[in-house]
């Protein structure tokens, strides 16, 4: 048994010698690599915070002192030293450890935080609460330089700076990257701090030399110390933080545990908010991660732990967007691209390489991305904003009031829509089609395959008088599903037998719907499967198709409340269509982490479950007396 398996909590770290702590750090890195190799995960960020995490837990007393991680993907080491190291063989596996902090797992996990730039606000509230209640407790917020590019972090800092009673230590984990190198003015400022001589070192040299001068030396030093802010600005310009009124400590080498502990201990003594600036390297200690140019294994798929070679991913939905946006850029010089610190994950890297002057990475600032896009549109360009579906939630007001109200031609491309699985509740893109339904004038497309990604993207960027949205899921797309007909703008995918059932398949659920149709035909039920392509607004042709059938079934990879099916039902009711309706969607709940297939099975979004329900519904519609008798018999039993 190694040292790591003897750690049941942070207090165990305080009994270890320096040599034992060095051994423990090595064991933690080995465990991180071994645990992530089979299933993937956020390896790079955690390799970079091993010593930093150990130092935090040796200086502060968690869970009495609260440690908040921003974002939670750098909390694997925290989980290990809080007694969960032996469970890492089931990291990000259904029933095993979450890839993010989880209140259900441990009292050491404060918030289930995986949307960036929020930790400082949580920490501000916690620290104020403890001050008001008179509790002797510290709050530590660990935030990366990438997350500091988010506006919410600066809103929090603005308030923390005047919270003089808050015993709050902000640890800036500065590795120069979020997914990829951090961008913007903040980066320049942090680089200045990172590369300047440390104020404390310079001042210590001056102190020793002046105090050695007989008579006038000590007095000269005191006078100089009184001007310490001027000296500090000259040798290590911390004005970025200190001008806000925040005490600044650092920069410190975050891989030097002893130096980091000293800096944290100094910060702990200060009865007010303090920033500790720690310099780290993502992927530290694992050559394959440090050499990986794209993202230092920020989020890696399964890989060989010895070579670092990743398993091939194959073609994914994002690839179709990556290729097509470059083609569009070549054809249209007015098309520009925006992303929020996710150039490679959303597939804009090739557009950036081809058109660097027309590509903008705004950092973790989705709100700014949306409103800046509105400005670009007002200036005669057509912006394409590519982000994960789950992160669009953060920019809803900007989509509504800044883009739609002003009828701006902005295209939003939402990657990882629907059930994403392994990353848990915060990353499932199951909210976008519901929240976007309330935006007047907005047009929403959901492609069913890679060819439709290209087709609908071209249609979207041709719209200049309203925002458009294109959304597609994570993973590999199905084989192309050809249409047998088109009615209005609606593609007919299956038309077999009499008009018993029309199945409205939204986006990626088209493959499931075609499978459902095969099962229904085998039961002697006539079925039509349609793909609306543009799900908002509802095509009038879809209303008439629904009127012609005995049962309408909608299937979508989105929350059932306020989604495409719910709006379709409202539309049918308003048009006087009385055809019975059945909606299949994601229940409005936070879904635990598991593989996408397992989640879809649990919530009933599989061909077998849907087909079974339709057979029962068709029986109820076509043979109401028999269905009623069966129900009565079931109730009797």
Residues recognised as catalytic: 282, 366, 394
State the Cα–Cα distance between residues 282 and 44, nearest whole angstrom.
5
Name the strand (E) or helix (H) holding 317: helix 317-331
Q: Does the N-terminal peptide bond of residue 49 adopt cis geometry, omega within 30 degrees of 0?
A: no
Count of C-beta atoms within a 10 Å radius of residue 629: 11
All residues at 6 or more sequence positions from 120 whose CB lies less than 8 Å from its CB, including other chains: 70, 141, 143, 152, 153, 156, 157, 160, 170
Count of C-beta atoms within a 10 Å radius of residue 66: 21
The distance from CA 576 to its chain's CA centroid, rounded to whole angstroms, is 41
3-state secondary structure of 516: helix
State the Cα–Cα distance between residues 565 and 620, nearest whole angstrom.
21
346-376 residues labelled b (16+ CB within 10 A) or e (exposed): bbbbbbbeebeebbbbbbbbbbbbbbbbbeb
What stretches of 562-632 adopt beta strand conformation (E)?
A: 581-586
All residues at 6 or more sequence positions from 171 whose CB lies less than 8 Å from its CB, including other chains: 52, 56, 140, 141, 142, 143, 264, 275, 276, 278
The distance from CA 5 to its chain's CA centroid, rounded to whole angstroms, is 31
Query: Which residue, chain included where needed, has tokens 């099962």?
Result: 519
> What is the residue-wise DSSP string for 322-391?
HHHHHHHHHH-TTEEEEESS-TTTTT-HHHHHH-GGGEEE--S-HHHHHHHHHHHHHTT-EEEEEEEHHH
State the Cα–Cα distance between residues 585 and 506, nearest whole angstrom.
10
State the Cα–Cα distance between residues 157 and 170, nearest whole angstrom.
10
Q: What angle do CA 144, 146, 151 make, to 5 degrees?
A: 105
> What is the residue-wise DSSP string for 97-118?
B-SS--TTT-TT------STT-
Residue 191 near residue 148, CB atoms below 8 Å: no
State the Cα–Cα distance between residues 368 and 362, nearest whole angstrom.
8
Q: Minimal CA–CA distance to 507: which of 452, 586, 462?
A: 452
């Amino acid at each position: 048994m190694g040292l790591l398996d003897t750690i049941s909590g942070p207090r165990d770290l305080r009994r270890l010698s320096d040599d034992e702590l060095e051994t423990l750090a090595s064991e933690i890195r080995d465990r991180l690599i071994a645990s992530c190799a089979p299933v993937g995960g956020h390896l790079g960020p955690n390799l970079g915070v091993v010593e930093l995490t150990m130092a935090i837990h040796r200086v502060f007393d968690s869970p009495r002192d609260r440690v908040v991680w921003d974002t939670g993907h750098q909390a694997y080491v925290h989980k290990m030293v809080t007694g969960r190291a032996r469970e890492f063989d089931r990291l990000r596996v259904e029933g095993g450890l979450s890839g993010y902090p989880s209140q259900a797992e441990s009292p050491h996990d404060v918030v289930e935080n995986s949307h960036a730039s929020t930790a400082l606000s949580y920490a501000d509230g916690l620290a104020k609460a403890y001050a008001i209640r008179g509790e002797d407790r510290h709050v530590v917020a660990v935030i990366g330089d990438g997350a500091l590019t988010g506006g919410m972090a600066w809103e929090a800092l603005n308030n923390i700076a005047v919270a003089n009673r808050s015993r709050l230590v902000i640890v800036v984990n500065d590795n120069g990257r979020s997914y990829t190198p951090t961008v913007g003015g903040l980066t320049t400022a942090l680089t200045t701090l990172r590369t300047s001589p440390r104020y404390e070192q310079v001042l210590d040299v001056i102190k020793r030399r002046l105090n050695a001068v007989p008579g006038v030396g000590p007095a000269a030093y005191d006078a100089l110390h009184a001007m310490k802010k001027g000296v500090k600005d000259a040798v290590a310009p911390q004005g970025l933080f200190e001008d806000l009124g925040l005490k600044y400590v650092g920069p410190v080498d975050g891989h030097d545990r002893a130096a980091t502990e000293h800096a944290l201990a100094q910060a702990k003594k200060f009865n007010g908010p303090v920033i500790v600036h720690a310099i780290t390297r993502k992927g530290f200690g694992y050559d394959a991660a440090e050499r990986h140019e794209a993202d230092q294994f920020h989020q890696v798929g399964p890989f060989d732990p010895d070579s670092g070679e990743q398993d091939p991913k194959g073609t994914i939905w994002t690839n179709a967007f990556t290729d097509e946006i470059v083609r569009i850029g070549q054809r249209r010089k007015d098309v520009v691209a925006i992303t929020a610190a996710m150039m490679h994950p959303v597939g804009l890297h090739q557009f950036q390489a081809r058109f660097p002057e027309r590509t903008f990475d705004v950092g973790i600032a989705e709100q700014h991305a949306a409103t800046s896009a509105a400005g670009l549109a007002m200036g005669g360009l057509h912006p394409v904003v590519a982000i994960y579906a789950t992160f669009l939630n953060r920019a809803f007001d900007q989509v509504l009031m800044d883009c739609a109200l002003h009828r701006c031609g902005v295209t939003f491309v939402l990657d990882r829509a629907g059930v994403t699985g392994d990353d848990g509740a915060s990353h499932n893109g199951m909210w976008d089609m519901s929240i976007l339904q309330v935006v007047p004038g907005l047009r929403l497309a959901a492609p069913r395959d890679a060819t439709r990604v290209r087709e609908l993207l071209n249609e979207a960027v041709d719209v200049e008088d309203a925002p458009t949205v294109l959304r597609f899921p994570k993973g590999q797309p199905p084989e192309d599903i050809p249409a047998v007909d088109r009615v209005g703008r609606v593609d007919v995918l299956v038309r077999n037998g009499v008009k018993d059932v029309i199945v409205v398949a939204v986006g990626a659920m088209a493959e499931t719907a075609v499978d459902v149709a095969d099962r229904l035909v085998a039961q002697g039920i006539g079925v039509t499967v349609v793909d609306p392509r543009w799900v908002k607004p509802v095509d009038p042709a879809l209303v008439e198709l629904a009127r012609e059938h005995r049962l309408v079934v909608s299937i979508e990879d989105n929350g059932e409340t306020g989604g495409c099916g719910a709006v379709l039902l409202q539309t049918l009711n308003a048009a006087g269509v009385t055809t019975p309706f059945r909606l299949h969607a994601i229940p409005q709940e936070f879904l635990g982490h598991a593989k996408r297939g397992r989640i879809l099975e649990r919530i009933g979004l599989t061909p077998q479950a849907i087909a079974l329900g339709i057979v029962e519904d068709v029986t109820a519609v076509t043979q109401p007396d028999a269905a009623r008798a069966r129900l009565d018999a079931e109730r009797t039993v």
